[in-house]
């Protein structure tokens, strides 16, 4: 067994812990413990210096990583999605060969600033903006030019200087096709003008296929959201934007198939601007729309 390179124990619910003897599998390159009932990894796992793939997706009881996880210097792919992971050790910044990090659907509320050292990352499912002055700032996203796939930027209420968002350089991340921009809906709103600047400067590439905006605190949503240049979007959700009083011209998004608008507490009217405008008589708003959902809009009175 000491020569073992691949070990997959996925979906074995009877597995609740990893034995310390794991340290003897020095040639291990692929370890899959997804959908088991383990709560943590033993510190001895840091002995597996050849490990490249570590998968713990769906381990509902998994809460923490070993403090010396940075010793896994050859780690390429790390998946903790859909776990109870609460925090990440600072040592994670030593995983300089990491290309894939998925922490979606976890309990993470903070990320160590050392994440910014992982500049070889190509997939980063979540980026959590810190509330601490010396913590992870949204500007650090500018250090990840090669990101692709999905990205969720959360805790945007922690952005103190809205001009920092410009440094994130989201418009140049052309391979991100699924983006979520989220603010904690349980916090009080900061200056609505600052909120507008934050969203304006987080304008993504026009290659985006799916966009979710949740908890935005501005009065109006930037017009880039309904710009026909973003015609490739197939899915759009706008949610919990309590101060927003009007919707952008989303009818110009020719390939939009699903539109969800919910928990918009200040919208009173949906008017012709929502459809967009075009001088040609042949213009038809929402030509590809298949699903339209309006939900939890208590002040909505008029649709013209």
Cα three-residue angle 296-299-303, rounded to 5 degrees: 90
For residues 260-270, average pLDDT: 94
Q: What value does the mean pLDDT take over residues 85-103?
A: 96
Residue pair 73/94 in contact by the 8 Å Cβ criterion: yes
What tokens appear for 25 in the block? Answer: 């599998």
| Element at 166 (helix H, strand E) | helix 164-167
- pLDDT value at position 231? 77
Confidence grade of residue 19 (pLDDT, cut at 50, 70, 90): very high
In terms of C-beta density within 10 A (0-12 exposed, 13-18 middle, 19 or more buried), how is residue 125 classed?
A: buried
- Domains of the chain in start order, with CATH, are 1-108 (3.80.10.10), 135-304 (3.80.10)
Binning pLDDT at 50, 70 and 90, where does residue 262 land?
very high
| Mean pLDDT on 138-160 | 95
Q: Give mean pLDDT, residues 150-168.
A: 93
* pLDDT band (50, 70, 90) for residue 114: very high
Q: Indicate the range of 67-81, 114-128, 277-291 predicted with least confidence.
A: 277-291
Helix (H) or strand (E) holding 192: helix 192-201
Q: Across the strands, what pairs with 293?
A: 260
Q: Is the pLDDT of residue 278 over 70?
A: no
pLDDT digits (tens, 9 = 90+) for 40-93: 999 999 999 999 999 999 999 999 999 999 999 999 999 999 999 999 999 999
User: Maximum CA pair distance of the chain?
Assistant: 73
Q: Give the pLDDT mean for 29-39.
A: 98
Mean pLDDT, rounded, of the chain: 92
Give the contacts of 161 (CB within 8 A, at least 6 positions apart): none
Q: Look at 109 and 189; give whichever has higher pLDDT.
A: 109
The pLDDT value recorded for residue 222 is 84
Q: Work out whether the CA dihedral 137, 114, 169, 214 comes out positive or negative.
A: negative
* DSSP run (H or E) holding 148: strand 148-154
- pLDDT of residue 268 exceeding 80: yes
- In 3D space, the residue among 209, 127, 115 whose CA is nearest the CA of residue 168 turns out to be 127
């Amino acid at each position: 067994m000491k020569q073992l390179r691949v070990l997959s124990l996925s979906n074995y619910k009877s597995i609740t812990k990893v034995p310390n003897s794991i340290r003897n599998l020095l040639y291990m390159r692929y370890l899959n413990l997804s959908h088991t009932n383990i709560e943590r990894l033993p510190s001895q796992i840091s002995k597996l210096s050849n490990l490249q793939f570590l998968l713990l997706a769906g381990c509902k009881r998994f809460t923490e990583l070993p403090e010396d996880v940075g010793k896994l210097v050859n780690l390429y792919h790390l998946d903790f999605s859909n776990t109870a992971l609460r925090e990440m050790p600072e040592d994670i910044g030593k995983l300089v060969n990491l290309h894939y990090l998925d922490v979606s659907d976890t309990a993470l509320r903070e990320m160590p600033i050392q994440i910014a050292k992982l500049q070889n990352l190509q997939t980063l499912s979540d980026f959590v903006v810190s509330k601490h002055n010396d913590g992870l700032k949204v500007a650090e996203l500018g250090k990840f030019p090669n990101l692709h796939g999905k990205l969720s930027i959360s805790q945007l209420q922690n952005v103190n200087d809205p001009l920092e968002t410009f440094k994130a350089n989201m418009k140049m991340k052309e391979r991100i096709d699924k983006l979520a921009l989220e603010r904690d809906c349980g916090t009080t709103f900061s200056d609505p003008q600052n909120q507008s600047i934050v969203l304006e400067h987080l304008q993504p590439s026009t290659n985006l296929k799916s966009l979710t905006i949740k908890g935005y605190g501005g009065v109006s949503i930037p017009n880039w959201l309904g710009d026909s240049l973003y015609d490739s979007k197939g899915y759009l959700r706008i949610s919990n934007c309590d101060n927003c009083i009007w919707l952008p011209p989303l009818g110009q998004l020719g390939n939009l198939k699903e539109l969800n608008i919910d928990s918009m507490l200040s919208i009173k009217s949906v008017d012709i601007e929502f459809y967009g405008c075009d001088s040609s008589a042949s213009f038809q708003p929402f030509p590809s729309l298949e699903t339209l959902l309006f939900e939890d809009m208590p002040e909505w009175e008029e649709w013209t």
